[in-house]
């Protein structure tokens, strides 16, 4: 047996990736699995984006290292994208292009956290925040939110969790896994609280263009100079432009933090893949019209499947406003079927109903499962039928 570092031994594998790995393994055995685990759109990247990448290769522009913090043209495209969606134009030294948003998040935690620093993470949370904070030597301070309060964290809850070691507040709106979106008033209150206590804010806005049924996204960083100075925005092309495989993320924040994150990038990834940067330039500049059909398809799936979920005995869901997940409370369904553990319940859905879902355990809940609706409507309807049959026959 090789000796593996204590550092790695302490890290949990991503539950979403391991759930999809198991689903794929069963599919490879010839079993007809409907996979609702993955957080990626099921559409091809718009053609013009791919074409821009091919042209960059053909023109010989993609062969070499780029600036560690991203091509100047990409920064320009990001600045313009911010003008359109955030109402302000960040300067080049406030922008970092990264190898995926996930790496931007890790670089951020590494840049800010000293050993023992606490990071406030409202639960349910996206799986990687907790592990990345631990990898950076920090202490995740989980703040539980309630379903009745639509999974939104309040200033009072944060104040109760604050200590003299609190360094960062993580906000993810629209949220993975719940799909909830904070309002302008809620964000203003949270932002002012963080400013008052000298707490940095990480605003993970990666789903901000995926909002439905007239819901609006308010960028926290656009709520005045004081809040903006404390906020680092994380985003990217993965979810909106259906580009998960291209691996381009972004961070926009104060020059000190962006420069520290850039230093980390320069010693790890060197630069985001050149060809993907050319694709991302095209995406940020021109692809908003191409992606409206994606958003509309998600909206249709949401509005079709949400009422069907309510017909499954023991399934309860807060209707999402954004992203592409249902975070279903299955406490009653577990009781009906004799399960006490949500991971065992998710395993049974995979093995008996042949529907792959993600256990809430990795998102900080012992009574939820996450279903992604980034798959076609027919498969989604079929999955609902299978889950229903499984629960009724147990």
Interface residues with ligand PLP (CB under 6 A) are 39, 100-102, 126, 172, 176, 204, 206, 236, 238, 244, 249
C-alpha–C-alpha distance, residues 289 and 256, integer Å: 35
CA distances from 113 to 132, 170, 202, 265, 374 (A): 11, 13, 12, 16, 34
What are phi and psi for residue 203, nearest 5 degrees? -105, 105
Question: Taking the mean position of all CA atoms in its chain, how far away is CA 361?
Answer: 16
Beta carbon of residue 346, minimum distance to ligand PLP (angstroms, whole number):
18
Beta carbon of residue 12, minimum distance to ligand PLP (angstroms, whole number):
15
Beta carbon of residue 263, minimum distance to ligand PLP (angstroms, whole number):
20
Beta carbon of residue 289, minimum distance to ligand PLP (angstroms, whole number):
22
Give CA angle at 177 (271, 390), nearest 5°: 130
Beta carbon of residue 120, minimum distance to ligand PLP (angstroms, whole number):
16
Beta carbon of residue 215, minimum distance to ligand PLP (angstroms, whole number):
17
364-384 residues labelled b (16+ CB within 10 A) or e (exposed):
bbebbbbbbbbbeeeebeebb
Q: Which is nearer to ligand PLP, 121 or 350 (CB)?
A: 121
Strands 249-252 and 95-98: antiparallel
C-alpha–C-alpha distance, residues 242 and 270, integer Å: 24
116-150 residues labelled b (16+ CB within 10 A) or e (exposed):
ebbbbbbbbbbbbbbbbbbbbebbbbebebebeee
Q: First and final CA of the chain: distance in angstroms? A: 42
Beta carbon of residue 388, minimum distance to ligand PLP (angstroms, whole number):
28
Q: Which is nearer to ligand PLP, 301 or 370 (CB)?
A: 370
C-alpha–C-alpha distance, residues 51 and 59, integer Å: 12
* Structure token pair of residue 97: 């292009």
- The DSSP output letter for 94 is G
Beta carbon of residue 196, minimum distance to ligand PLP (angstroms, whole number):
26
Beta carbon of residue 238, minimum distance to ligand PLP (angstroms, whole number):
4
Q: Which is nearer to ligand PLP, 97 or 334 (CB)?
A: 97
C-alpha–C-alpha distance, residues 204 and 48, integer Å: 27
* Nearest CA among 270, 360, 254 for reference residue 316: 360
Q: Which is nearer to ligand PLP, 138 or 179 (CB)?
A: 179
C-alpha–C-alpha distance, residues 358 and 368, integer Å: 9
In what helix (H) or strand (E) does residue 204 lie, and over which residues does it extend?
Answer: strand 200-204
Q: Which is nearer to ligand PLP, 171 or 387 (CB)?
A: 171
Q: Which is nearer to ligand PLP, 238 or 375 (CB)?
A: 238
Q: Which is nearer to ligand PLP, 170 or 257 (CB)?
A: 170
In what helix (H) or strand (E) does residue 158 lie, and over which residues does it extend?
Answer: helix 155-161
Beta carbon of residue 301, minimum distance to ligand PLP (angstroms, whole number):
17
Q: Which is nearer to ligand PLP, 126 or 345 (CB)?
A: 126
Q: Which is nearer to ligand PLP, 124 or 191 (CB)?
A: 124
Question: Taking the mean position of all CA atoms in its chain, how far away is CA 124?
Answer: 12
Beta carbon of residue 28, minimum distance to ligand PLP (angstroms, whole number):
23
* Structure token pair of residue 274: 């050149």
* Residue 281, C-beta contacts closer than 8 angstroms, at least 6 positions apart: 52, 71, 73, 74, 77
Q: Which is nearer to ligand PLP, 121 or 333 (CB)?
A: 121
Q: Which is nearer to ligand PLP, 37 or 176 (CB)?
A: 176
């Amino acid at each position: 047996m090789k000796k593996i570092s204590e550092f790695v031994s302490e890290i949990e594998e991503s539950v979403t990736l391991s759930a999809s790995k198991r689903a794929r393994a069963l599919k490879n055995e010839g079993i007809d699995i409907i996979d609702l685990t993955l957080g990626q759109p099921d559409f091809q990247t718009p053609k013009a984006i791919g074409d821009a990448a091919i042209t960059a290769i053909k023109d010989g522009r993609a062969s070499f290292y780029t600036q560690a913090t991203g091509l100047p043209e990409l920064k320009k495209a990001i600045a313009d994208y911010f003008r359109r969606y955030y109402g302000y134009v960040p300067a080049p030294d406030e922008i970092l292009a990264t190898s995926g948003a996930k790496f931007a998040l890790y670089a951020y935690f590494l840049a800010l956290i000293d050993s023992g620093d606490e990071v406030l993470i409202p639960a349910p949370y996206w799986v990687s925040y907790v592990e990345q904070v631990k990898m950076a030597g920090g202490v995740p301070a989980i703040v539980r939110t309630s379903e009745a309060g639509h999974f939104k964290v309040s200033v009072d809850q944060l104040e109760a969790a604050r200590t003299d070691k609190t360094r960062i507040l993580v906000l993810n709106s629209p949220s993975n896994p719940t799909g909830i979106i904070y309002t302008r008033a809620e964000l203003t209150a949270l932002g002012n609280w963080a400013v008052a206590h000298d707490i940095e804010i990480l605003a993970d806005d990666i789903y901000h263009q995926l909002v439905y049924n007239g819901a609006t996204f308010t960028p926290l960083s656009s709520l005045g100079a004081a809040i903006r100075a404390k906020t680092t925005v994380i985003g990217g092309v993965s979810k909106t432009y259906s580009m998960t495989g291209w691996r381009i993320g972004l961070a926009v924040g104060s020059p000190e933090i962006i420069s520290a994150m850039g230093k980390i990038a320069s010693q790890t990834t060197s630069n985001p893949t050149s060809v993907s940067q050319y694709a991302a330039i095209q995406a940020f500049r021109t692809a908003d019209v191409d992606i409206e059909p994606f958003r509309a398809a998600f909206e249709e799936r949401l509005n079709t499947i949400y009422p069907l979920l309510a017909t499954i005995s023991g399934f309860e869901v807060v209707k999402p406003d954004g992203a592409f997940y249902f975070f279903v409370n299955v406490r009653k369904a577990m009781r009906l079927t004799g399960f006490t553990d949500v991971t065992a319940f998710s395993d049974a859905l995979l093995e008996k109903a042949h529907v792959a879902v993600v256990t809430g355990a990795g998102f900080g809940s012992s009574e939820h499962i996450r279903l992604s609706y980034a798959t076609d409507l027919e498969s989604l309807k079929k999955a609902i039928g299978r889950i229903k049959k499984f629960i009724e026959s147990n």
